[in-house]
Amino acid sequence: MRFFCARCCSFGSEMPAVQLLLLACLVWDVGARTAQLRKANDRSGRCQYTFIVASPNESSCPEQSQAMSVIHNLQKDSSTQRLDLEATKARLSSLESLLHHQLTLDRAAGPQETQEGLQRELGTLRRERDQLETQTRELETAYSNLLRDKSVLEEEKKRLRQENENLARRLESSSQEVARLRRGQCPQTRDTARDVPPGSREVSTWNLDTLAFQELKSELTEVPASRILKESPSGHLRSREGDNGCGELVWVGEPVTLRTAETITGKYGVWMRDPKPTYPYTQETTWRIDTVGTDVRQVFEYDLISQFMQGYPSKVHILPRPLESTGAVVYSGSLYFQGAESRTVIRYELNTETVKAEKEIPGAGYHGQFPYSWGGYTDIDLAVDESGLWVIYSTDEAKGAIVLSKLNPENLELEQTWETNIRKQSVANAFIICGTLYTVSSYSSADATVNFAYDTGTGISKTLTIPFKNRYKYSSMIDYNPLEKKLFAWDNLNMVTYDIKLSKM
């Protein structure tokens, strides 16, 4: 929308009158920022001045359901401003009449006095215009802040509603489970005949005949340890005979999906269990971090594997500083991660929620200098194997080749370092088993391979062709858990595990 101010002129050389007309048009709209003047003869040959003034922008009105007191104040200010604008327009109309009257008096009176008076009037109008513009900007800022606060409150409302729904579902599920257990585990009479396995002894039973007293009966049976330590279904803790020994990787199984992220923030991330748990954590305690974003600080903690699979965290840690990449690990009760936009590795003790140590990895690339082939600022990747804590990275001195160092888990001091001949950006990910570094060829190919191995004991690397399945075609994290003898991975929103086989040493 544009406003036009035009007058046909026959002033000849009477420049004071023309200037007055120009100034009057420039301030015609108080909120105007710029104006344009064009001069041309009309069809009758008369001189015509055309002024073009841009209309000010208008802010959208906020919803009245939010911050009513602020909106009422803004409405009052708007009414006041509208009255001021009307008064200004009236004054401008008076000024225009004065200009026409002045044209008849220019020859009889000196133009200088009249021009000075009009200049003072225009100066006053300009100051009033500036004040109104300032008030307009303040109102627009207040509107913007109000809308932003409204958006934040709505998001918080949605989150709380979702949490309430989740809690309601959990409560209903727990009630059903309790009812099921009561129905299925309580016999009807104490005298019900049952087969007691050899070596078992009766302790107590339910007595429903005598309401005054009931006691519990259980059966204790000696079971060989070999039966307990058999392999359990994927995703649950297991320990097999002979698994404590080390060996070379010879086989990787099919991926087993345990959990799928709910939102795009879980496109890639890292999840883990502690292979050396400390109180109050157990072998089942699981941690998860969604790493999409610029300020990643949330660490979700699950006491039980079933809670992790259902998506019900028992606690959420807020890290004192954001982390970067998918290279974090949990070891001996502490979370080890790379600080955002730095080559610093941080040890965060989970139980006390305090930072216990920080250490810069000398010369390590960070924030996209030497990532894995998929990107994700995976320049520094922490790993755990049977011998302890490691860090995988590269340096300018190594010219992009993988460097790995053994770290002291207490103070993060580098104990020993190896430089390989494997280019870090040519592989999709890496993990360490029994002191040997293994790399994966592709993060997106459905049929990738474990393609290189570097033995820190001998300093020798070799090529491999062990099949590795990227079922969801975007593996952003692969780690080894030496307690469970499994690979943990994050593949395109999905948290998966892989069974593995090691050769005998």
Question: Would you say residue 347 has pLDDT above 70?
Answer: yes
Question: What tokens does 238 get?
Answer: 């297991």
466, 485 Cβ separation under 8 angstroms: no
Question: What tokens does 91 get?
Answer: 């004054």
Give me the mean pLDDT over the 439-448 stretch.
Answer: 93
User: Among the listed ranges 219-223, 260-264, 339-343, which one has the minimum average pLDDT value?
Assistant: 219-223
Dihedral angle sign, alpha carbons of residues 35, 40, 44, 47 = positive
- pLDDT bucket at 79, cuts 50 / 70 / 90: confident
Question: Would you say residue 104 has pLDDT above 80?
Answer: no
- The tens digit of pLDDT for each residue in 53-77 reads 665 655 555 555 555 666 677 778 7
305, 325 Cβ separation under 8 angstroms: no
- The tens digit of pLDDT for each residue in 261-317 reads 988 888 889 999 999 999 999 999 999 999 988 899 999 999 999 999 999 999 999
Residues 423, 401: Cα–Cα separation, whole Å: 4
Q: Which residue has the higher pLDDT, 375 or 432?
A: 432
- The tens digit of pLDDT for each residue in 111-124 reads 666 677 788 888 88
DSSP tag of 264: G
Exposure letters 330-349 (e unless 16+ CB within 10 A, then b):
bbbbbbbbbbbebbbbbbbe
pLDDT of residue 67: 57
Question: Would you say residue 201 has pLDDT above 90?
Answer: no
Cα-based distances in Å from 42 to 24, 244, 496? 22, 100, 80
User: Among the listed ranges 147-151, 256-260, 486-490, which one has the minimum average pLDDT value?
Assistant: 147-151
Question: Would you say residue 437 has pLDDT above 80?
Answer: yes
Residues 74, 241: Cα–Cα separation, whole Å: 75
Residues 207, 209: Cα–Cα separation, whole Å: 6
The stretches of 186-254 forming alpha helices (DSSP H) are 225-228
pLDDT of residue 234: 41
Question: What tokens does 375 get?
Answer: 């990107």
CA distance between the termini of the chain: 82
Question: What tokens does 34 get?
Answer: 């710029």
Return mean pLDDT, the chain: 79
- pLDDT bucket at 379, cuts 50 / 70 / 90: very high
- pLDDT bucket at 21, cuts 50 / 70 / 90: low
Q: Which residue has the higher pLDDT, 180 or 356?
A: 356
pLDDT of residue 238: 43
Residues 257, 312: Cα–Cα separation, whole Å: 17
What phi and psi, each to the nearest 5 degrees, are found at residue 250? -125, -15
With H, G, I as helix, E, B as strand and everything else as coil, classify residue 12: coil
Among candidate residues 420, 365, 416, 437, the one with its CA nearest the CA of residue 394: 365
Question: Would you say residue 331 has pLDDT above 70?
Answer: yes
With H, G, I as helix, E, B as strand and everything else as coil, classify residue 51: strand
Among candidate residues 8, 2, 16, the one with its CA nearest the CA of residue 40: 8
**Residues with Cβ < 8 Å from 467, sequence gap 6 or more?**
252, 447, 448, 449
Give me the mean pLDDT over the 249-259 stretch.
Answer: 95
Give the HSE-up count for residue 131: Cα atoms under 13 Å, Cβ half-sphere: 12
Residues 475, 473: Cα–Cα separation, whole Å: 6
Single-letter amino acid code for the residue at 4: F
User: Among the listed ranges 66-70, 218-222, 491-495, which one has the minimum average pLDDT value?
Assistant: 218-222
Among candidate residues 378, 338, 381, 372, the one with its CA nearest the CA of residue 443: 372
Q: Which residue has the higher pLDDT, 483 or 31?
A: 483
Residues 288, 272: Cα–Cα separation, whole Å: 7
- pLDDT bucket at 138, cuts 50 / 70 / 90: confident
Give me the mean pLDDT over the 379-398 stretch.
Answer: 95
Question: Would you say residue 7 has pLDDT above 80?
Answer: no
pLDDT of residue 143: 82
Question: What tokens does 203 get?
Answer: 């302790």
Angle at 137 between CA 134 and CA 143, to 5 degrees: 145
The stretches of 287-402 forming alpha helices (DSSP H) are 305-310
- pLDDT bucket at 187, cuts 50 / 70 / 90: very low
Question: Would you say residue 455 has pLDDT above 70?
Answer: yes
